[in-house]
Structure 1
Amino acid sequence: MIESGEIYKLIVENVNNLVAVINQDIVFEYMNENVHEKLTGYSNEDLLGKEVLKFIHLEDHKKILHEFENSFETGMHFTELRFKHKEGHFIWIETNGKQFVDKDGKTKVLTISRNITERKLAEEKLRDSEEKYRIISETAYDLIIVLNQKFKYEYINENAFQQILGYSKEDLLGKSALLFAHPDDVSNTTKILVDGFKLGKGEAEFRLKHKDGHWLWLEGKGKIFSDNDGELKAIIISRDITERKLAEEKLRKSEEKYRDLYEEAPNAYFSIGNDQNIIKSNKAAGKLLGYTKEEFSKMRVLELYADKENGLKKAQDVFKRYLQGESIQDEELQIKKKNGQSIWVSLTVKPIFDQEGNIIESRSMVLDINERKLAQEELENSYKKLREMEYIINNSPSIIFLWQNSEGWPVEFVSKNVIQFGYTPEDFYSGKVIYADIIHPDDITRVAEEVSNYGNEDTTEFVQEYRIKTKSGQFKWIDDRTWIRRDSEGNITHYQGIVLDITDHKTADEALKLSEKKYRRAYNRANFYKDIFGHDINNILHIINSSAEIISYHLGGSEKSKVIEDISNIIKRQVERGAKLVSNVNTLSQLEEESIHTKPTEICKLMQNSIDFLSKTYDDKKIIVNDVCEEDHLIANANDLLQDVFDNILINSIKYNENPTIEIVIKVSKTLVDGKKFIKMEFSDNGIGVPDDRKEIIFKRGNRELKGSKGMGIGLSLVKKIMKGYDGKIWVEDKVKGDYSQGSNFILLIPEFD
């Protein structure tokens, strides 16, 4: 059997609490080492024989000494203190002590302690939280109260109560809330509080008496909770709705007073149910939207709104807000009339509540603001256009002036871009600059007389040109287009003008007039010489050609007839070349004088004409020309000058070719360039070719087509000019890329006729 002393020792050594024996000197005499090491880190050697106070937080010394004194007097003590852990931090312990006398007759204290650090930290957190919410409660504008199940005040946020109801804590705590309720509300308030404690929450509108005797309407929401003792309490948060209730009461009385006027009211009124059904409407509503009362009664209110952003979508949002008890004031929406027309209206919605505070319907007023909105939009557009106009004016060369009809024409308004003359608007507004003073002395008399004459005539506008002086002292020519403003009696009050600097134009005009005189004299002389040249050269060529034919005729049977025939052919070819030169000169002259007029032109027909001309002119040469047109119908946007283009290119292929057999390959195709349709023509030959440094210069006037060439020719410059007039292109490439000596490839791009 284990003796009872050993049993107690086993219990002490294995409990989870700290057990210690402390003598009258407050020194440790015993401790259950296992538990102490586990909770405080100390062994017997660390504590036995040591003063207890060395391990107690300094702030707890006074309390401990007092408790020990009491324990030796009363026989027991209880306290909470902070005990230093061996690692240096403090833990909270809860200590129970009981006095006893040992076998030697000495009085000692047996203490049993447990670690309550976690509880103390939680309590500290709770205190911080409670303090935070206490501060929120004390500074809130709403009334916050705690009621017990007897409906007595246990807490109020005093500041709010004093501001709203005039009461302090002393006035309310411990008293029944029903004592301060309006007599008419006591029964309903009691029911709501009873139901609230059962259901766990509740809300109501009620009246409470102000300390000075008048009544305030409050809206309260409450929630039930259990306190530390497990008792149910109600926390209720209320706000002052007196103004709203007074307004509602005023509206109710007004409705009672003016119920008969509802139907005849000039504004449209509706009563709408929570299901969106139109319950009631007045005459003005029908007049505004075109429906009858019966038609309204079968409709839902959202059917009235236009399917627009400020119509149906916005109306749906307004209806949601109404269902939440919100009053809507002057909301602007687009509503739809029976005929489909959308108009702007201003909507005011007031929720109507029953005695239990439930929304039962709305009172809606609809005002027609369509004209105002349209006028507002027009005004906004006008402002926008005005700002745009101001920007355009201030960034344009034209300056706007508004002159008063008085001596010197004082400026009442001028646009900011007057700075182009060195002046600012303020220079004119301040009177530092008088408009008449900046007009050129040689022009002022004429300008004044013209203004006076126009004013005496039945006219509204006139134009003048004169010079004004800039701020830097220079004179500028201006074009002044002025409108006359008159009052209701026909008297001139203002002149409004647009002033434009035309100095460069005037200078250029003078130079142009001088240039035109010189050009006209030169042009007349050139035409005269051209006509003489063309007439005389054609006469000469005609005589030469006739002479060649006579010679050929008279020597037709002689031995030298073959030689003469060859010479005659040469003369004929040269005559034809000379005639072609004269034709080219005339064509170039026409192109210089006027633009080229185009028409639908069949390419293949003109090309065949050029080939026939080539065969007759150079019948002594062996010339091979391939099939020209694979397509039967190729129409270009050109004219008959295209014949000259083909003639010149083919003649060049023969003129600059030293081979016994002249080969000319013509390719025709269609192509797109920058989205525009073109007919592409390529003329490849086996001639002497064009070096790279000559590929551009051969198309310029005053340059022979090929270096070292002989004879008459302005052909390629003529071709270039014609092609440019067609909005076409011409250029030359090597027939064999990189080797110009193998022949040339002249390429034309001619616009296709659509």
Structure 2
Amino acid sequence: MAHSEDPGSALHTAAPERVAHERMAAILAENEALRHENAVLQSVKDAFQESEKRYRRLFEDDLTGDFLTDADGLILACNPAFVRMFGFASIEGALGTNILELYEDPRDRETLLARLQRDGKVENEGRIRKRRDGTRLHVVENVVGYFSADGELLETQGYVYDDSERKRAEEALRESEGRFRAVLENSLDAAYRRNLRADRYDYISPAIEEILGFTPEEMSAVNLEEVMERIHPDDRPPVEAELNAAAASGKGLLIYRFLTKNGEYRWLEDHLMVICDPGGRPLYRGGIVRDITGRKEAEVELARVHRDLESAHRETNLYLDILTHDIGNTENVSNLYAELLVDSIRGEAAVYVVNLKRSIAKSIEILGIVSKIRRIHAGPPELRSVDLDAVIRTEIDHFPAVPITYEGALCEVVADDLLCEVFTNLIGNAVKHGGPGVAVIVRVEEQNGEVLVTVADTGRGVPDDQKEEIFHRYERKQRGVGEGLGLYLVQILIDRYGGRIWVEDRVPGHPEEGAAFVFLLREADSVPARP
């Protein structure tokens, strides 16, 4: 017979199982909560580590010198920029160093601590510090203080950046501005800047008082209308026109008369510039004002002198016309009569007639030279290519009684039809002053685009102390009648042709052996072929 299950026994067995299940569920729930909490904590930890990493990267990569010190100034922490800025070998080398060692003036530390105690922080303070090697640097410093509950300073934290370059630039600019201002304020010219919007001078240098009699302060109070009223009425229209043009071009030049404080007009020259805003509207006009009254008076005087010189030149030409034409004609007639007398008079009177004829010939010669000099000075030369060999041979033919040796060269030079006068006067001078039996040598040599010409003689020569002045006797009046005119003519002709002339000994070191007149002429660019 089967046994039936006891209901009470089954109930007794089910209760522990339910409790176990409940406890298991509670444990699982608690475990899940722990896992969730652990995940949250891990997330917080990761975020903290990432934040710490970012902070450290920010600290270590910062371009400013970051630092932390205790109350006594010992460096507890710093970044690489701080190390580089102050010349430490490493961060470890900087830690434990007293920051007071980086102060040029130790009293700055006391001032800093007092400020921190009062304000809790110091912002953007410019200070002088020093590197480890003792060199100075200018820094801008920002520092905060951390205090205990009872107000005792525990630590200072801050950052600095090297401001030395900016400070040097600032000092250089200040020094430059000082020099510039010194130049302006000691200049004889007056510098100014006028504010066109405010219609007043922002700046005008002290020289204005010397020029116009007004102080800079008095001029600053003068408006544009009053300025224009003081400009001479005849000068106002061109001044207004130039100011309008300067507003468009940015610069201008004014020349006008201005009524000074003592009631006289002074001539002023004003070099100005106009500064405009981005829209092209004039903001400022600045410039330099110079008193040119003296220059203007000199220009008036120069114009008067020029007129007088032109008048004198016309009168001189008239006198030269009379001298070279009318007197020249009279001398030629006198010479003809003298020749007739030479043939008809005998005895002592004939000697006088010969001397008279010689004097007339000399007078005619002088008039001829004066006429040529006048022609030279009458206007610019018309230079051309001239056959030098032909000119020399023609002039030699004019002295058939003189033994002349010619060492020539076929070349052409830059000259005009007066070139023959150079050889006429040099050969004639040798014959005239060389004494009986004088011989003449003419030599031509080509050298590097120039032609060297020598006219030498076997006469008495030229002493060393006269070689320089021989061409200037006529100008210095160290001469007899007509003496020096020929060589003066020679010199101005050679100058006219772009050459130069000098005299030396025919035999070097022996003036008594004769003179050699040497001159250079420019060789013509193109020399036509000769048959």
Q: Scaled by the length of structure 1, what TM-score is found?
A: 0.38
Task: Give 2:423's aligned residue.
Answer: 646
Structure 1, unmatched stretches of 5+, are 1-208, 219-238, 245-386, 616-621
Structure 2, unmatched stretches of 5+, are 1-40, 58-175, 526-531
Once the two structures are superposed, residues 138-183 of structure 1 have per-residue CA deviations (whole angstroms, 9 ceiling, x without a partner) of: xxxxxxxxxxxxxxxxxxxxxxxxxxxxxxxxxxxxxxxxxxxxxx
Greater share of helix residues, 1 or 2? 2
How far apart, in 2, do the equivalents of 1:645 and 1:482 lie?
Answer: 56
Task: Give 2:406's aligned residue.
Answer: 627
Task: Give 2:507's aligned residue.
Answer: 736
Superposition deviation, residue 525 in structure 1:
2.3
Task: Give 2:94's aligned residue.
Answer: none
Classify 1:213/1:696 alpha carbon distance in 2 versus 1 (closer, same or farther; 3 Å).
closer
Once the two structures are superposed, residues 67-125 of structure 1 have per-residue CA deviations (whole angstroms, 9 ceiling, x without a partner) of: xxxxxxxxxxxxxxxxxxxxxxxxxxxxxxxxxxxxxxxxxxxxxxxxxxxxxxxxxxx
Task: Give 1:169's aligned residue.
Answer: none
Classify 1:450/1:243 alpha carbon distance in 2 versus 1 (closer, same or farther; 3 Å).
same
Once the two structures are superposed, residues 212-239 of structure 1 have per-residue CA deviations (whole angstroms, 9 ceiling, x without a partner) of: 6327999xxxxxxxxxxxxxxxxxxxx9
Superposition deviation, residue 698 in structure 1:
2.0
Alignment of 1:578-597 (within 5 A): 578-597=363-382
C-alpha contact 1:666 1:682 (8 A) present in aligned 2: yes
Superposition deviation, residue 714 in structure 1:
0.9
SS at match of 1:213: helix
SS at match of 2:403: strand
Task: Give 1:689's aligned residue.
Answer: 461
Classify 1:469/1:606 alpha carbon distance in 2 versus 1 (closer, same or farther; 3 Å).
farther
Once the two structures are superposed, residues 622-662 of structure 1 have per-residue CA deviations (whole angstroms, 9 ceiling, x without a partner) of: 41111241x222x2222222222221111101110212x22
Superposition deviation, residue 487 in structure 1:
10
Superposition deviation, residue 685 in structure 1:
0.2
Classify 1:474/1:624 alpha carbon distance in 2 versus 1 (closer, same or farther; 3 Å).
farther
How far apart, in 1, do the equivalents of 2:43 and 2:278 lie?
Answer: 71
AA at the equivalent of 1:648:
N
Classify 1:662/1:456 alpha carbon distance in 2 versus 1 (closer, same or farther; 3 Å).
closer
Superposition deviation, residue 532 in structure 1:
0.9
Alignment of 1:189-268 (within 5 A): 213-214=45-46
Classify 1:627/1:524 alpha carbon distance in 2 versus 1 (closer, same or farther; 3 Å).
same
AA at the equivalent of 1:602:
D
How far apart, in 2, do the equivalents of 1:217 and 1:694 lie?
Answer: 106
Once the two structures are superposed, residues 358-404 of structure 1 have per-residue CA deviations (whole angstroms, 9 ceiling, x without a partner) of: xxxxxxxxxxxxxxxxxxxxxxxxxxxxx9xxx9xx99999886645
SS at match of 1:662: coil
C-alpha contact 1:440 1:466 (8 A) present in aligned 2: no
Number of aligned residues? 352
AA at the equivalent of 2:518:
I
Superposition deviation, residue 737 in structure 1:
2.7
How far apart, in 1, do the equivalents of 2:225 and 2:473 lie?
Answer: 56
SS at match of 1:627: strand
Superposition deviation, residue 696 in structure 1:
2.1
Task: Give 2:306's aligned residue.
Answer: 516
Alignment equivalent of 2:390, drawn from 605, 608, 621? 605
C-alpha contact 2:454 2:518 (8 A) present in aligned 1: yes
Alignment of 1:80-91 (within 5 A): none
Alignment of 1:665-704 (within 5 A): 665-672=441-448, 677-700=449-472, 702=474
Task: Give 1:715's aligned residue.
Answer: 486
1:507 correspondence with 2:283: no
Classify 1:422/1:742 alpha carbon distance in 2 versus 1 (closer, same or farther; 3 Å).
same
* Aligned residues with identical type, % of pairs: 23
SS at match of 1:700: helix
How far apart, in 2, do the equivalents of 1:499 and 1:650 lie?
Answer: 62
Task: Give 1:343's aligned residue.
Answer: none
Superposition deviation, residue 577 in structure 1:
4.8
How far apart, in 2, do the equivalents of 1:571 and 1:697 lie?
Answer: 31
Superposition deviation, residue 607 in structure 1:
1.5
SS at match of 1:626: strand
Alignment equivalent of 2:332, drawn from 534, 538, 542? 542
Superposition deviation, residue 602 in structure 1:
2.1
Classify 1:214/1:485 alpha carbon distance in 2 versus 1 (closer, same or farther; 3 Å).
closer
Once the two structures are superposed, residues 189-217 of structure 1 have per-residue CA deviations (whole angstroms, 9 ceiling, x without a partner) of: xxxxxxxxxxxxxxxxxxxx989632799
How far apart, in 1, do the equivalents of 2:265 and 2:255 lie?
Answer: 13
Higher relative contact order (CA 8 A, sep 6+): 2
Superposition deviation, residue 531 in structure 1:
0.9
AA at the equivalent of 2:429:
N
How far apart, in 2, do the equivalents of 1:599 and 1:500 lie?
Answer: 48
Q: Scaled by the length of structure 2, what TM-score is found?
A: 0.51
